[in-house]
């Protein structure tokens, strides 16, 4: 079995599991309690906060633990929107290929009276900093642009966008869920005001994540109640899971360079192999992409059938994001980079794990080739293309 869907979620690392179990056994106090049981849990919580902060160059008081990336995105965007509104600023700049946690929050804010500019993403899957700059007005409260895209893996020019936002005095949030633990990040050097992260994308537990908000930025609550997390997120913290996430992040950061070099080589080998399939195309820039991400379109087939047949061959892949698969609409990300509906339907994402071998890559190339050929064999679209009744796009 080859698990090639690490952009959807990752397997927990053994160190993260061990940490979680150890705290569940021994450190079950409530971190808000004053007696020793509670204080031990509080120590574990604050140690995790320091670890997480140190990995991104932040201070620990700038880290707020959440239930994951979606919650962090919601809270960052809502907080910035409210701060803007207090100053009469009701415009937000983002892009068309954000995660739905961002896009749906922005859609709600539009209904509440905000104006949202969603920038186009170019064919290479990259946002242009000069277009971000041009979209900012004196009404702009927030720029929110993802660090690396979850479907096509393209890495955005975050440092340049951060610099522009700082000069223009506009808050800058980045959904760094796909990047953190996989790419080097420094929130100070990159002028990032707010950043969202999720534990289960870097071998930590599901249901964990955090929001970094630069000191001085006033967050508003999504959840009201007790005074946990400096009063900004009520509810008893899941200490074992949070501590486990911190261990996973530290581990990922420590071996990042090595993992990245290894995966880049395997990714390029996979891209080379799949490129040989006729009428196929890589989605997104070949270089400015996550070391783990491969995303292709194959003309004349359906991504869903491709996935099911690959599953039979023991390969777990995705045809878009976990959030959109199951619906028959083509991926909003592929449409945003200009793929037409027919082509966007035949997409395949393989997101590699650190344990992938050369034999796995060879097996994936061979299996995808077989399945694509098989599916094209009875595809009416493919027949029309072959007969010249329809023009090939790829
Ligand atoms: C997975 C993901 C999220 C959501 O994170 P959860 O922890 O699952 O809520 C948000 N943004 C991106 C880019 C993601 O890949």
Tell me which residue has its CA closest to atom 15 in ligand 1.
Answer: 150
Beta bridge partners of residue 91, listed in sequence order: 115, 140
| Cα-based distances in Å from 333 to 121, 214, 300, 378, 394 | 9, 29, 19, 28, 18
- Helices 69-86 and 100-111 cross at an angle (nearest 10°) of 30
Please give the pLDDT value at position 325: 46
**Cα 370 to Cα 310: distance, rounded to the nearest angstrom:** 10
Could you tell me if the CB of 75 is within 6 A of ligand 1?
no
Which 8-state DSSP code applies to residue 62? G
Q: 362 C-alpha vs ligand 1 centroid, how far in Å? A: 30
Tell me which residue has its CA closest to atom 3 in ligand 1.
Answer: 69
Could you tell me if the CB of 150 is within 6 A of ligand 1?
yes
What is the reported pTM?
0.97
Q: List domains and CATH numbers for the chain.
A: 14-254 (3.40.640.10), 256-387 (3.90.1150.10)
**Cα 301 to Cα 187: distance, rounded to the nearest angstrom:** 42
- Locate 227 and state its tokens: 């005074």
Could you tell me if the CB of 229 is within 6 A of ligand 1?
no
In terms of Cβ atoms closer than 10 Å to its own Cβ (0-12, 13-18, 19+), residue 230 is exposed
Probe target for ligand 1 pocket from 106, 150, 155, 185, with the most ligand atoms within 8 Å of CB: 150
Could you tell me if the CB of 146 is within 6 A of ligand 1?
yes
Could you tell me if the CB of 213 is within 6 A of ligand 1?
no
Task: Indicate if 165 belongs to the active site.
Answer: no
**Cα 141 to Cα 182: distance, rounded to the nearest angstrom:** 29
CB 239 within 8 A of CB 38: no
- List the chain pLDDT tens, one digit each, 394 residues: 999 999 999 999 999 999 999 999 999 999 999 999 999 999 999 999 999 999 999 999 999 999 999 999 999 999 999 999 999 999 999 999 999 999 999 999 999 999 999 999 999 999 999 999 999 999 999 999 999 999 999 999 999 999 999 999 999 999 999 999 999 999 999 999 999 999 999 999 999 999 999 999 999 999 999 999 999 999 999 999 999 999 999 999 999 999 999 999 999 999 999 999 999 999 999 999 999 999 999 999 988 899 999 999 999 999 864 444 445 678 999 999 999 888 888 899 999 999 999 999 999 999 999 999 999 999 999 999 999 999 999 9
Could you tell me if the CB of 89 is within 6 A of ligand 1?
no
The sheet that has 293-298: what strands, in order across it?
A: 280-282, 293-298, 347-351
Please give the pLDDT value at position 327: 54
CB 54 within 8 A of CB 194: no
Q: 390 C-alpha vs ligand 1 centroid, how far in Å? A: 38
Maximum Cα interatomic distance, the chain, rounded to a whole number of Å: 78
Q: 181 C-alpha vs ligand 1 centroid, how far in Å? A: 14
Please give the pLDDT value at position 328: 64
Q: 199 C-alpha vs ligand 1 centroid, how far in Å? A: 9
Q: Atom of ligand 1 at shortest distance to CA of 68?
A: 7
Q: What is the 3-state secondary structure (H, E, C) of 69-109?
A: HHHHHHHHHHHHHHHHHHCCCCEEEEECCCCHHHHHHHHHH
CB 156 within 8 A of CB 185: no
296 Cβ contact list (under 8 Å, min separation 6): 274, 280, 281, 282, 283, 347, 348
Q: Three-state SS for 183?
A: strand
**Cα 319 to Cα 292: distance, rounded to the nearest angstrom:** 15
Of 41, 43, 69, 47, the residue nearest 212 (C-alpha) = 69
Residue 71 main-chain phi, psi, to 5 deg: -65, -40
Q: Which of 227, 261, 323, 340 is catalytic?
A: 323
Could you tell me if the CB of 177 is within 6 A of ligand 1?
yes
């Amino acid at each position: 079995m080859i698990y090639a869907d690490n952009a959807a979620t990752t397997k927990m690392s053994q160190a993260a599991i061990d940490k979680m179990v150890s705290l569940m056994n021994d450190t079950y106090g409530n971190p808000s309690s004053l007696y020793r049981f509670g204080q031990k849990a509080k120590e574990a919580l604050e140690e995790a906060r320091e670890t997480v902060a140190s990995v991104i160059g932040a201070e620990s008081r700038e880290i707020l633990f959440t239930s994951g990336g979606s919650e962090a995105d919601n809270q960052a965007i809502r907080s910035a929107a409210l701060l803007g509104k207090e100053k009469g600023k009701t415009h937000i700049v983002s892009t068309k290929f954000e995660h739905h946690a961002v896009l749906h929050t922005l859609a709600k804010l539009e209904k509440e009276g905000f104006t949202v500019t969603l920038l186009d993403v170019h064919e290479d899957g990259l946002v242009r900093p000069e277009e971000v700059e041009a979209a900012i007005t004196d009404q702009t409260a927030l720029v929110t642009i993802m660090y690396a895209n979850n479907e096509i893996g393209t890495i955005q020019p975050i440092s340049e966008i951060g610099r522009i936002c700082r000069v223009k005095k506009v808050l800058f949030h980045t959904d760094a869920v796909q990047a953190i633990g996989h790419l080097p990040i420094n929130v100070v050097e990159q002028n990032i005001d707010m950043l969202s992260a999720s534990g289960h994308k870097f071998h930590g537990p599901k249901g964990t994540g955090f929001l970094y908000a630069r000191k001085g930025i006033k967050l508003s609550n999504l959840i009201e109640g007790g005074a946990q997390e400096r009063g900004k997120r009520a509810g008893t913290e899941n200490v074992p899971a949070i501590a486990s996430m911190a261990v996973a992040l530290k581990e990922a950061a420590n071996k990042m360079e090595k993992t990245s070099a290894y995966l880049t080589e395997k990714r390029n080998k996979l891209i080379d192999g799949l490129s040989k399939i006729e009428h196929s195309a890589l989605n997104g820039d070949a270089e400015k992409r996550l070391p783990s991400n491969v995303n292709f379109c194959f003309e004349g087939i359906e991504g869903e059938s491709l996935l099911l047949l690959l599953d039979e061959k023991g390969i777990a892949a995705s045809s878009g994001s976990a959030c959109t698969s199951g619906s028959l609409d083509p991926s909003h990300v592929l449409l945003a980079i200009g793929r037409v509906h027919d082509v966007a339907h035949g997409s395949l994402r393989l997101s590699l794990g650190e344990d992938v071998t050369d034999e796995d890559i060879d097996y994936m190339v061979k299996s995808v080739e077989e399945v694509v050929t098989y599916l094209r064999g009875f595809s009416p679209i493919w027949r029309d293309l072959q007969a010249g009744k329809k023009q090939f796009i790829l």
